[in-house]
Amino acid sequence: MHKTLFHKSQCSGDGRVRARRSITVQIPPGVADGMRVRLASQGEVGPGGGPAGDLYVEVDELPHETFEREGANLHGTLRIPVTTAALGAVLQLKTLDGTEELRIEPGTQPNTELVLTGRGMPKLRSSGRVDGRGDMYVHLQVEVPTKLDAKQAELLRELAGLRGEEEPELSSTNGRGHGLFSRLRNSRR
């Protein structure tokens, strides 16, 4: 006959002993920062050797180097030169799923937002199942050159002349006199 004795110093008469262990946790796609994942029967053993409780793991999402997350949608900024905005281009864009073609239309304006439907994060339902995906929003930031050499400056002056853009024209924001200057004028009255 073989008996195992528990010392009171180990279990304090409770029938259980504290120990550390490592477990692997499967995080479902679409889980966001602050959500909890329940691992059934992975918690501490109940009093008197009863069934183990559940273990809850809280997710601490690290920031991505390119995208910001807003629910299931992703947002990223793409900086393009003024020439690409004016002439258009097809660019290779890295997404979470690999590389995608992104079409920049000729005449694209600053702060244009392009949407890649279904290229965001998986949408997690309350049951833990994935129900589609969010979208990816690409915010275009047109970069105007700050330093031009003599040849580049001459080419831009020539373009401005061809387009009749030598003299900038000041106008209200909506054509009805509600711009900055009319607001200043009205505030003095």
Nearest to 111 by CA among 75, 135, 151: 75
Residue range 147-184, pLDDT digits in tens: 999 999 999 999 989 988 877 778 776 655 555 555 55
- Sequence-separated (6 or more) residues with CB below 8 Å from residue 187: none
Identify the pLDDT of residue 73. Answer: 95
| Whole-angstrom Cα Rg for the chain | 30
Ramachandran angles phi, psi of 11, nearest 5°: -110, -5
Longest CA–CA separation in the chain, Å: 104
What is residue 141's three-state secondary structure?
Answer: strand
Rounded CA-CA distance 30/118 in Å is 13
Q: What residue ranges define each of the domains in the chain, with the CATH number in brackets?
A: 1-62 (no CATH), 68-154 (2.60.260.20)
Model-wide pTM > 0.75: no
Strand 113-116 to 136-143 pairing: antiparallel
| Residue for token pair 């990816």 | 136
Identify the pLDDT of residue 84. Answer: 96
Nearest to 30 by CA among 94, 136, 117, 126: 126
Identify the pLDDT of residue 183. Answer: 54
Identify the pLDDT of residue 26. Answer: 83
Token pair recorded at residue 113: 């937002």
The helix, strand and coil proportions of the chain, stated in percent and rounded to the nearest 5, come to: 20, 30, 50
pLDDT above 90 as % of the chain: 43
pLDDT for 134 beyond 70:
yes
Alpha-helix runs per DSSP H in 78-188: 82-87, 150-163, 180-187
Alpha-helix runs per DSSP H in 47-179: 82-87, 150-163
Identify the pLDDT of residue 17. Answer: 65
Rounded CA-CA distance 81/145 in Å is 8
Chain CA centroid to CA 116, Å: 13
